[in-house]
């Protein structure tokens, strides 16, 4: 069974909601990313999104854009991100990994090499925010052949397309909480509760929400109506603020603990 399904099954039996952090791989470097993954797991993360740095990230706000710029300076590629999953597994992580990438790096790598890489490095899920719906069915089929779930994003503006989008979903449906790009927010799409209820009417698989969630209060709010909550920019910002500590061997553990503590207080 896919690790994502195992985690949601366990949490459902326990009456809990999945905490799904996002990290930009290679920010500030691969070795530190692996160490941060272990810290997030010990802090209570249930599933992890591994963000592939990209030069034209249409869905990402300034925090993740800056993280991508730092990672790209270190020549972090989509292959590097897959290899990081293997490195984290070798370091003891048992988290399900979701590769979060734009479509162009997939096309540049080539479909055969891409799906072989997902399988080789134990990736459980795949999110491609700019994947056209018309191409999702074929890509989802290729992903299923190697045991990977293609997880769709559904936005409040999807409207009549919601049923068609979630029909192809595997693993979980990712509901976008707000219009626009990622980033910490004090408020969300005004009709967010009704939107999530509409999505749930069309599917039996778990529903998670993300984009802009950054506080324990917001995690609590969405845990009442969703099966999972994704936190991205707020964690990437913690990494960014900890870089001076992470780069100082004498204070590196302090930096890792700072990131761990932030995620731990999000876990319900």
- State the catalytic residues: 49, 60
The 3-state secondary structure of 114-127, one letter per residue: HHHHHHHCCCCEEE
Measured CA to CA, the distance from residue 251 to residue 259 in angstroms comes to 13
Cβ contact 96:7 at 8 Å: yes
**Cis preceding linkage at 28, omega within 30:** yes
Q: Which contiguous run of DSSP H or E holds residue 99?
A: strand 97-100
Q: Which residue has the tokens 């089929």?
A: 141
Kind plus residue range of the DSSP H or E element containing 101 = none
- As given in the structure block, the two tokens for residue 96 are 């399900």
Report the alpha-carbon distance of residue 84 to residue 51 in Å, rounded. 11
Cβ-based neighbours of 236, under 8 Å, separated by 6 or more: 22, 23, 24, 27, 51, 63, 64, 67
């Amino acid at each position: 069974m896919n690790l994502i399904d195992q985690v949601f099954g366990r949490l459902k039996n326990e009456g809990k909601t999945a905490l799904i952090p996002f990290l930009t791989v290679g920010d500030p470097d691969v070795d530190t990313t692996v160490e941060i993954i272990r810290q997030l797991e010990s802090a209570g993360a249930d599933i992890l999104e591994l963000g592939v740095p990209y030069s034209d990230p249409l869905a990402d706000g300034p925090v993740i854009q800056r993280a991508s710029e730092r990672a790209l300076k270190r020549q972090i590629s989509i292959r590097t991100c897959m290899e990081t999953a293997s490195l984290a597994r070798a370091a003891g992580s048992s988290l399900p990994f979701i590769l979060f990438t734009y479509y162009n790096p997939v096309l540049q790598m080539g479909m055969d090499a891409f799906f072989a890489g997902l399988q080789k490095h134990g990736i459980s899920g795949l999110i491609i925010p700019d994947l056209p719906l018309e191409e999702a069915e074929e890509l989802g089929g290729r992903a299923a052949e190697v045991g990977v779930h293609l997880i769709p994003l559904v936005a409040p503006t999807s409207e009549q397309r919601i049923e068609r989008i979630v029909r192809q979903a595997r693993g979980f449906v990712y509901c976008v909480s707000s219009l626009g790009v990622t980033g910490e927010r004090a408020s969300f799409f005004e009709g967010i509760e009704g939107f999530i209820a509409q999505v749930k009417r069309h599917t039996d698989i778990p529903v998670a929400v993300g984009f802009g969630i950054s506080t324990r209060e917001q995690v609590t709010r969405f845990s009442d109506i969703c099966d999972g909550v994704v936190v991205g920019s707020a964690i990437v910002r913690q990494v960014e603020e900890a870089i001076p500590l992470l780069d100082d061997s004498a204070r590196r553990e302090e930096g890792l603990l700072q990131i761990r503590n932030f995620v731990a207080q999000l876990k319900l």
